[in-house]
A = this chain, B = another copy of it.
């Protein structure tokens, strides 16, 4: 049986829609998924107990989907089954986001579960390459996408963000700790005439068992408010939540949406 560790956002629900058998759904307290009622809400301090429950339920495979920000740990709440995991949890939390996630996956692997990537279950989340909008890309957008891809690839080893904004060769913003939405929101005050692209890609060498980055209708709206001309995502590297809706939204707002072959 598959257990889904569902974080925030729409991805967990989209995933469940794509599964023939309903998975067991666990969500971390404080990070509720959209449009899904979890079978179980757990606290990080009870992770060891959750692992035991999974075994008792016959869970064999675990899939992480949706975003969970790094939770605080309340030492007073740690239960007996979780106590042996504490040193590793502490080590994980002291690392960058990638490092922390890798450590969490290792904990589940060593407990005997197969880790499955979200995109294994929903191939439609990874559309083929192409421009899916009325607005087409021009040579400047193509050049900006090359520059953006170079920036994101170069930032990989620093474990910072997976997206950036480029306009005529200049990097206007790079995603940091506060994420994509915050970065795009900060560009609403941009001191120029507007223009440019939002680009998103996985980090180089990203562990594909961890969520690939996700875009959706919200991304298009945020890019529009940042006065950008379009959104570019790397083919096979970024999950698109409801491509048809993304395309519609982009058309309404006059943006292009480009799934780009790297």
Q: Which residues in A have some Cβ–Cβ distance to B below 8 Å? A: 96, 150-151, 154-155, 157-158, 160-161, 165, 167, 169-174, 176-178, 182, 185-186, 189-192
Say whether B178 contacts A191, CB under 8 Å: yes
In this complex, the member of A155, A170, A174, A182 whose beta carbon has the largest number of chain B beta carbons within 10 angstroms is: A174
Partner of A158, one of B167, B171, B186, B191: B171
Say whether B158 contacts A154, CB under 8 Å: yes
Say whether B171 contacts A173, CB under 8 Å: no
Query: With A and B bound together, what is the CA distance between A96 and B150 in angstroms?
Result: 14
The secondary-structure label for the interface of chain A is: mixed
Q: What are 14 A-B interface contacts by the 8 Å CB criterion?
A: A150-B158, A151-B160, A154-B157, A158-B171, A160-B171, A160-B174, A161-B171, A167-B177, A170-B177, A172-B176, A174-B174, A178-B190, A182-B191, A185-B189
Give chain B nearest CB distance to A118 CB in angstroms.
24
* Given A154-B157, A182-B191: 5 more A-B contacts, CB < 8 Å: A154-B154, A154-B155, A160-B174, A170-B176, A172-B177
Give chain B nearest CB distance to A245 CB in angstroms.
27
Partner of A176, one of B157, B161, B174, B185: B174
Name A164's closest neighbour in chain B (CB-CB). B176
The interface residues of chain B lying within 8 Å CB-to-CB of A173 are 176
The interface residues of chain B lying within 8 Å CB-to-CB of A192 are 178
4 closest A-B pairs (Cβ-Cβ)? Answer: A186-B186, A170-B177, A174-B174, A160-B171
Query: With A and B bound together, what is the CA distance between A92 and B37 in angstroms?
Result: 58
Give chain B nearest CB distance to A193 CB in angstroms.
12
